[in-house]
Chain A
């Protein structure tokens, strides 16, 4: 066994009120893909950020090719050959692919401040070639598909190879968390290509992916590295158990505990709803206590339909009734007024306001609940927040903590609370409510959705995976090319294949 490319010894990093890393030691060997898993808040992202020079470590040593190092900036880490691909894509949409790939390191393509575009494109093409990609380096980045932009991200991180004589270490922070499954296959193929030229650390919540792509897997909990496994002798269930320290068979089967929806209690009735170019002739009923899952690929009209039901877009024809009354939404405020709540997929962007406190995020859509006359009553607001923090077991130091500081699962609970505090919530639209959450948080949100349905709300769901959709929904409506192409009832649950057949 040769010297590992990167050795981390006893690394610690604390933030106020939180020990993010507590004596972590790992090793990464040459041309190896190391999987890193753990619940949200286990310290995976912090570890990557320390390695990439974004945060300084409090304690411990980082040895790169046997030499102790510490980086003062991302640029310094990149110079030494460590590159990080961020969780959210970090490309500039307004400049060319080549400029993104070579950002800050244009090398010989810029002499005396002057650009030689041809050699810039050539240098970028070299990086894209490493991934076997044919994306033109002069393309405007904004014109690329999401998956192509991911390739550009990878090419950008591979470009650090040119700055060091050694093979680089590439850190991938959940590159697949927001991708649909066929795109995931492309990324996994890319990671396998990366391994030919670099060592890779791969963080993901999708344990099956980690097992598929990794040569070794480290499991982290509470800022510590608790286990190391060989994927060939290990399965998803074992990893889950290690992550949680307990057995977790997700409550995928507590449907029986729930009373079935009363057939006459129709909360939302959609009739012949159409929007030109997006969807056409959509009709369905959503009953109180029912979870209706919407399946469909991107572009099937599924997302546009959800936005219409929340008033963010208009339908061209057709109608919908809430509790038997015709409604027309000019904007989302009308929808909220009518008792519709919406949990958006882009949690960080559309779901919460990160700088506002937990308390403020909870009450912002229904300030009336905490108003006394024209003023906000701070005591009522505080009590309300405390009650819901308790009820949903939201882990936050206080109701005044900025919501952005919470982990993903707890943020999502805050988003849900925002709608739950409304006294007359009738319909809740959940757009990928489990996106980016770890197993434990998923299970909690899962139970929460069931509890909500039990209270008589009608729930419209778009899920990340078909497995989740089938497990959660009472009724599944499948859309294809803007039309409903299939309906299933939970009394005879469909297989994933049956749904897929109607999606594509």
Chain B
């Protein structure tokens, strides 16, 4: 029965992005399936472009890049969390708290502070601290990340509300505003930051102990522990990493919108998890990567943007988006369906 077992283990929705280019190319040959999400992205793009030529303009590419930036930053952190087999549901609360801290520490209408760049760091560090709380609760108290991060989401949201107190702080710091809205060499600044985060994620996942051990922990945590790997240390790190990126995302979105707001991250958690899964990172851990998630983010962004172009009623867009996401997941996991496969 070993053959049967192998079959069940084998299907990999994503390439293991490891090793030399030659090595990955060799592996890629046998796994056409992993290119599915990318093909879907291209088809979507071409489809919308044919339906409305003004969709496929440089200006619109810029819009899509700008819209993708914040979700991508969050998705990079989420990817590592999911690869380890955990989940981080605190994203939106952490973004809100960071947003408020940032907005109230740079030049604004609520406080006397004008910390400038330190405000950015402060916002991101607040995110990392919430991540640390997530990580400590998961590793020390051994509570599943699902429950821990849900609790921390609520706590951080509450702190944000307390800070906001009904009148969202407006940001008057012009450097921040122009950075958040501006472009460099025609590329939106936020997209550049997101690409830097993506690059960082790529290096982390393929070339560092943190990244590789994330795959190992997701693939078999008990085995990792038996091999003397300090699993808890890497679990803690991944939550801090994800919290940091959520905090950064909250800061950047605030800079763009010009205010600190409790709803700054609304919808980001769902988008991030969806993008990670559509891209092909397995929710059971151990498989996937940040490039997959980037493709997932772009699919969602192209979809949302394209629907406006082809004139899907705004009232219907959410439902259409959901239906397309469901079919994408169906296609991506079609090969896995088998009567005896356990789905939870």
Residues of A within 8 A of B (CB): 54, 73-76, 78, 90, 92-96, 99, 103-104, 106, 110, 113-115, 117-118, 121, 138-140, 142-143, 145-146, 178, 298-299, 303, 311-313, 331-332, 344-346, 431-432
A312–B339 touching, CB < 8 Å? yes
Asked if residues A115 and B3 are in contact (CB atoms below 8 Å), the reply is no
- The answer to whether B340 touches A114 (Cβ under 8 A) is no
Instruction: Determine the chain B residues whose CB is within 8 A of the CB of A73 once the complex forms.
Output: 226, 228
Main SS at interface, chain A: loop
**Assembly CA distance A95 to B215 (angstroms):** 7
Tell me whether B319 is interfacial, beta carbon within 8 Å: no
- Given contacts A104-B227, A104-B228, A104-B229, whether A92 and B220 have CB atoms under 8 Å apart is yes
Q: Which of B23, B206, B229: most chain A CB closer than 10 A?
A: B23
A113 to B211, CA, bound (A): 9
**Distance between Cα atoms of A162 and B34 in the complex (Å):** 37
B10 touches A143 (CB 8 A): yes
Q: Which of the residues B6, B27, B208, B226 comes within 8 Å of A114, measured between beta carbons?
A: B208
The stretch that binds A, out of B14-22, B45-53, B155-163, is: B14-22
9 pairs from A and B in contact (CB 8 Å cutoff): A54-B226, A92-B219, A92-B223, A104-B227, A113-B210, A117-B23, A138-B19, A303-B3, A432-B1
Give bound CA distance, A138 to B287, whole Å.
Answer: 16
Q: In whole Å, how far is A279's beta carbon from the nearest beta carbon of chain B?
A: 14
Docked-complex contact A95 and B228, CB < 8 angstroms = no
In whole angstroms, what is the CA distance A431 to B1 when docked? 9
Partner of A99 from the list B12, B23, B212 (CB cut-off 8 Å) is: B212
A95 touches B216 (CB 8 A): yes
How far is A103 from B226 in the complex, measured between Cα atoms in Å?
Answer: 10
**Minimum distance in angstroms from A499 CB to a CB of chain B:** 20
CA gap between A303 and B5 in the complex, in Å: 12
Contact A140 B27 (CB under 8 A): yes
> Is the C-beta of B4 less than 8 angstroms from some C-beta in chain A?
yes
Complex interface: chain B residues within 8 A of A143 (CB): 10, 27, 30
Mask: chain B, 266-310; 1 = CB below 8 Å from A; 0 = not = 000000000000000000001100000000000000000000000
Smallest CB separation, A357 vs chain B (Å) = 21
A95 partner residues in chain B, CB cutoff 8 A: 16, 18, 212, 215-216, 219
Given contacts A138-B23, A142-B10, 13 further A-B contacts (CB under 8 A): A73-B226, A75-B226, A75-B227, A90-B226, A92-B223, A94-B12, A117-B23, A118-B20, A139-B27, A140-B16, A143-B30, A145-B6, A311-B339
Contact A99-B208, Cβ < 8 Å, known A94-B287, A142-B10: no
Residue B218 contacts which of A94, A110, A113, A117 (CB distance < 8 angstroms)?
A: A94
Report Cα–Cα, A158/B103, bound state, in Å: 57
Contact across chains for B228 and A74 when beta carbons are under 8 A apart: yes
> Do residues A313 and B27 form an inter-chain contact, with CB atoms below 8 A?
no
Contact A142 B12 (CB under 8 A): yes
Complex CA gap A439/B4 in Å reads 27
- Which chain A positions have C-beta within 8 A of B286? 92, 94
Closest to A120 in B: B19
Taking a contact as CB atoms under 8 Å apart, the answer to whether B20 and A115 are in contact is no
Separation in Å of the A274 CB from the closest CB of chain B?
19
Give A214 to B314 CA distance when docked, in angstroms: 75
Among residues of A, the one whose C-beta sits closest to the C-beta of B20 is: A117
> Least Cβ distance of A329 to chain B in Å?
10
> Once the chains bind, are A178 and B207 in contact (CB under 8 Å)?
no
